[in-house]
């Protein structure tokens, strides 16, 4: 094994990449590639895995890669490695999103504590029995701000307007050319595939009263206690001051930090991107959140229903297939 200047060998860096791939991504496409060298790791976007119809402006891809970048930082902290991150280091290589360099020095204890959540976090698409308390939301918002984004909880009548925007996106997006083909491709993967959204990660169909914004994917086999709605989870919008590629990448980093911290606190989470993939509903999300900045992703946070069981682990590609 080759050791770095900080004593972290390349095998350990590759293991950190493996844990980083547990990050959430749009349709579990895992749209990233990595280069591991002594003392550094490069993150690259995999443009071949961009969902052209679902994600026409590439927002979802960059947010997904940003989440993997934050997972990587936490994974390194978990093995006692400090790190620095240079985002978009080479303007001539648009797909080279970041270079993470291992440095000497102590890591933040809190980051080390989040290390245990990397393999525990799941996207729980079932309805929640209760939302997140205000104290937790404030703590999660502080984490988002530390990474260059804001987390805005939407409540009251604004929450009703936000749900209507989510439902309208769920109704309108299937009419976009190519959208249903992409959805089918990533929810009905070929045998042995290590990506996509399996039926075991999607709730069964409930009786009446289902909420459309909770039903992006075809009916699955994940058991739940009640119908898919109404949902009592807290709806939050992750926003950034700008809307360029760096803003979207940093939003993904903030999303990952929030999801890991919420998991550590015992709460279920689920990212919601559908309303931000259509221009008409994206502006309504911004208005409902009262946000001055730009919405990059929605998060649902809450207490899962009792006696409905855990969400199974979703598949991930082998690291050997992701390395340059």
pLDDT in tens, 247-266: 999 999 999 999 999 999 99
Check if 10-119 and 128-304 are the same fold: yes
> pLDDT of 170-179, one tens digit each?
999 999 999 9
Residue whose token pair is 């496409």: 29
Q: Kindly provide the b/e burial profile for residues 101-136, where b requires at least 16 CB atoms within 10 angstroms of the residue's own CB.
A: bbeeeebeeebeebbebbeebbbbbbbbbebbeeeb
DSSP helix/strand/coil, 276: helix
Q: Note the pLDDT of residue 206.
A: 62
Measured CA to CA, the distance from residue 21 to residue 72 in angstroms comes to 8
Measured CA to CA, the distance from residue 309 to residue 23 in angstroms comes to 21
Say which CATH topology domain 128-304 has.
NADH Oxidase (3.40.109)
Query: 248 is written with which tokens?
Result: 């979207």
- pTM value is 0.94
Q: What DSSP designation does 159 have? A: H
Q: Note the pLDDT of residue 5.
A: 47
Measured CA to CA, the distance from residue 312 to residue 198 in angstroms comes to 10
Report how far apart, in Å, the C-alpha atoms of 201 and of each of 126, 173, 315 are.
Answer: 10, 21, 10
Half-sphere exposure of 48 (CA within 13 A, CB side): 2
Blockwise average pLDDT, block size 10, the chain, 324 residues: 62 97 98 97 97 97 98 94 95 96 74 87 93 97 97 96 94 95 96 94 69 81 70 95 97 98 96 96 94 92 87 95 95
> pLDDT of 14-43, one tens digit each?
999 999 999 999 999 999 999 999 999 999
Question: What sign results for the dihedral spanned by CA atoms 14, 16, 18, 21?
Answer: negative
Q: Are 269 and 260 in contact (CB under 8 A)?
A: no
Q: Note the pLDDT of residue 109.
A: 54
Measured CA to CA, the distance from residue 95 to residue 101 in angstroms comes to 18
What DSSP letter does each residue of 205-233 carry, written as one string?
P-SS---GGG--SPP--B--SS-S----P
The residues with which 236 forms a beta bridge, in sequence order, are 153, 299
Q: Note the pLDDT of residue 226.
A: 56
Asked: is 10-119 a CATH 3.40.109.10 domain? The reply is yes
Q: Note the pLDDT of residue 1.
A: 39
Q: Where are the domains of the chain?
A: 10-119, 128-304
Q: What DSSP designation does 133 have? A: -
């Amino acid at each position: 094994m080759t050791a770095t200047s900080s004593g972290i060998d390349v095998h350990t860096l590759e293991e950190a990449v493996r844990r980083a791939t547990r990050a959430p991504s749009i349709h579990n496409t895992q749209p990233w590639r990595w280069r591991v060298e002594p003392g550094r790791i490069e993150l690259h976007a995999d443009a071949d895995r961009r969902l052209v119809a679902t994600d026409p402006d590439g927002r979802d891809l960059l947010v997904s890669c940003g989440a993997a970048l934050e997972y990587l930082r936490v994974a390194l902290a978990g093995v006692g490695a400090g790190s620095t991150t240079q985002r978009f280091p080479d303007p001539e290589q648009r797909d080279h999103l970041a270079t993470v360099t291992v440095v000497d020095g102590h890591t933040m204890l809190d980051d080390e504590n989040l290390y245990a959540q990397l393999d525990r976090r799941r996207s729980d698409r079932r309805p929640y029995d209760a939302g997140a308390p205000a104290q937790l939301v404030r703590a999660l918002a502080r984490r988002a701000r530390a990474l260059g984004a804001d987390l805005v909880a939407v409540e009251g009548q604004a929450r009703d307007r936000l749900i209507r925007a989510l439902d309208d996106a769920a109704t309108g997006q299937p009419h976009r050319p190519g959208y249903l083909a992409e959805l089918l491709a990533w929810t009905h993967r070929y045998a042995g595939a290590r990506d996509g959204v399996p039926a075991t990660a999607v709730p069964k169909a409930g009786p009446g009263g289902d909420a459309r914004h909770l039903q992006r994917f075809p009916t699955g086999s994940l058991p739940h206690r009640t119908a898919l709605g109404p949902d009592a989870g807290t709806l939050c919008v992750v926003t950034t001051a700008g809307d360029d590629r760096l803003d979207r990448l940093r939003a993904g980093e903030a999303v990952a930090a929030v999801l890991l911290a919420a998991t550590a606190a015992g709460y279920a989470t689920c990212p919601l991107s559908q309303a931000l993939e259509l221009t008409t509903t994206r502006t309504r999300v911004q208005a409902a959140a009262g946000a001055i900045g730009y919405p990059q992703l929605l998060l649902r946070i809450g207490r899962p229903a009792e006696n409905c069981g855990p969400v199974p682990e979703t598949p991930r590609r082998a690291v050997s297939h992701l390395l340059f």
